[in-house]
Amino acid sequence: MSQWRSQVGVGLAATLLASLLATSVVATALALTITNTNPSVTVPTGVATNVGINYVWNGTASDTPGATSFAVSLPTGYTWTAPPTFSLTGTATATVSAPSTVGQVTTWTLSSFSATGPWTLTLSGGQVSTSLTSGSSLVTLSYGTTTSVIATLKASGVTTTGLFPVTISPLSVPADGTSTILLVFGAPGANATCANYTSFTVATTGGTFTTTNLPGVTSPVNGTSATVTCANFTSVSLKTLTLRAPTTPGTATITVSVLPVGSTTSTPDSTTLVTFTKTSAGQGNTEREHGKGARKVAFYASTGATTCAAAPVSPSAGTPSFGFAILNTTGHGRVNVEVALKGAAPNSTYSVYLDQAGTCSPAFTLHTNSRGNGNRHLNVAMVSGATQAWLTATQTKGSAVTNGSNLLVTNLAMVSVKGHGHENAQGNQDKGGNQDNPGRGHGKG
C-alpha cells in the first residue's frame, strides 16, 4: 500500500511540475509584432532618390529583437547616397553601431538592449542612386535567420539632364556688356520634390545675371548664380533668368545643379556652353544688325501634344529641323515674323500661331509646295510685358506624314522691347498692310 501511495505521489508531483513548467513557458512566450510596408520606388538614372524604408519592431517588457546584427542588401547597380537609420522609442534603451558598408551590404549591430518595454525599433529612410536604366530589384533585410524584402527599386532611365529643364536662347551674343541671353525654365521633373532635393542652383562662368522672376529668388544684380528652394520648384515653369554678356570675348558654361536632401554636395543637372563673340568696330550688337531685336529660331517636330499656349521643350542635340522663323520688333509696338518651312508636309496647309509668353495670335495660313517648303510674313501686335515668344505650325490640310512634321514648334526666343509701343493692333496683316489671306504665302520652293 505504501509503495502504491509512493508511486501515486511521484506521479502527481511529476504532473504538477509539468503543469507549472507549461504555465511558465506560456507566460513568457510573448509574440513580437513586425510591420513592413515594402515601398516600391522609381529611381531615375543618376538621381539620388529617397527609398522610404519603414521596417518596425514592436515589443513589450519581456521582448527582445531576437538578433543583434542587422544587414541591408542593395541590389547590384545601386549605391547608398544616405543609408537608412535606426531609431528606438519607448522605455527600452539600446546602442546601435554606425552603419558599415562592404560592397552592396550595410550592417548595424545592436548592443546593450534593455527590454523594459513597451518599445519600438524602426529602420527607416534611405537614399539611393543607380547607373541602371531599367529593371526591378529588391532591397532585403537579414536579422538572425530571417531575411525579408523591405523595398522594391525600379530604374527609370531618366537622366539628371532636364530635371529642371531650361531653354537658353541665343547661344551666342556679342561681348559688348549689354547683349543678353535668356534662360526660360520648363516644368520640373516628377522627381523634383522637397522629399528628394533641397534646392537647385543656376550658375554661369561668364557674364552676370541681371534680372530674374524665378519664385523665391531676389534679383541677382551682377551675380553669377541664383538658387531656388524646393518650396518653389513647381512655380518655376515659364519663369526666366537673364544673363548679360561681359565685355571680353570668350565662352561660358551655364550649369544647373541640384542639392539632394541630406547632402552638402550639389550634383550637375545640365550644362550648356554659350559664346560671347568679338564685336567689330561700328557694328554694335549683332541683334541690331538685323533690325530691332531680331531673333532666328528653328522649327522642330513637337515631342508631345503641344498647342500654341504650351511652351516648347528644347530639342535634343541632332534633332532635325523643318525650317526657321525670324522675329523682329518694329519699335512701334509690333513684331514682324518671317516664317520659312523647309521639308515639312508637302502640298499641305498649316495654321501658324505666334505665342508671346502664353498669349496666342490668331492663326495665319501657310501653304507648302511639293517639297514641303513654304514662306509667310506675319505682323503681330506685341503683348505688353512679354519677353519670350515661340511659334507653332499645325497641319490642317494635306496627306499624312511620318516624319512628325504635321505639328511643328520653334524653340523659345527672347523678344526685345523697342520704341514706345504706341501702335494698336489693327488686325493681323501681312507685308504691305493687306489683311491675312489664305491664298497668300504659297511655297516658293
Domain membership of residue 161 (yes or no) is no
The answer to whether residues 129 and 102 belong to one domain is yes
The closest alpha carbon to 41, from 160, 125, 145, belongs to 125
The answer to whether residues 151 and 57 belong to one domain is yes
Residue bearing cell 523634383: 192
Do the bridges between strand 172-174 and strand 267-277 make them parallel or antiparallel, or are there none, so unpaired? Answer: parallel
Cell of 277: 563673340
- Identify the domain boundary among 114, 134, 155: 155
| Helical (H) or strand (E) element with 327 | strand 321-329
Cell of 224: 553669377
At 309 the pLDDT is 64
Domain membership of residue 378 (yes or no) is yes
Cell of 162: 532636364
The answer to whether residues 176 and 231 belong to one domain is yes
What CA–CA distance (Å, rounded) separates 267 from 47?
Answer: 9
Host domain of residue 206: 166-277
One digit per residue, pLDDT tens: the chain, 445 residues? 445 444 444 444 444 434 433 333 332 333 467 677 778 887 766 667 788 888 888 888 778 887 888 999 999 888 898 889 888 888 888 888 888 888 889 998 988 888 787 888 888 888 888 777 667 889 999 888 888 888 888 876 543 356 888 777 777 888 878 788 877 777 788 888 999 999 999 999 999 888 777 787 876 777 899 999 999 998 887 787 888 888 888 888 888 999 999 888 888 888 888 888 875 433 333 333 344 457 788 888 876 556 676 666 666 555 678 888 888 877 677 888 889 998 888 888 999 999 887 788 888 899 988 888 889 888 888 887 777 788 888 888 887 776 777 888 887 776 665 444 333 333 333 333 333 333 333 344 3
DSSP code of residue 437: -
At 419 the pLDDT is 42
What CA–CA distance (Å, rounded) separates 415 from 361?
Answer: 15
Cell of 209: 545675371
Contact criterion met (CB below 8 Å) for 314 and 304: no
Cell of 11: 506521479
Reduced to 3 states (helix: H, G, I; strand: E, B; else coil), residue 392 is strand
Contact criterion met (CB below 8 Å) for 253 and 271: yes
What's the CATH code of the domain at 105?
A: 2.60.40
Count of domains forming the chain: 3
Residue bearing cell 530639342: 315
Do the bridges between strand 69-73 and strand 321-329 make them parallel or antiparallel, or are there none, so unpaired? Answer: unpaired
The answer to whether residues 260 and 299 belong to one domain is no
The answer to whether residues 235 and 327 belong to one domain is no
The answer to whether residues 303 and 400 belong to one domain is yes
- Identify the domain boundary among 248, 277, 306: 277
What CA–CA distance (Å, rounded) separates 311 from 299?
Answer: 13
Question: At 47, which amino acid appears?
Answer: V
- Identify the domain boundary among 256, 277, 298: 277
Contact criterion met (CB below 8 Å) for 273 and 251: yes
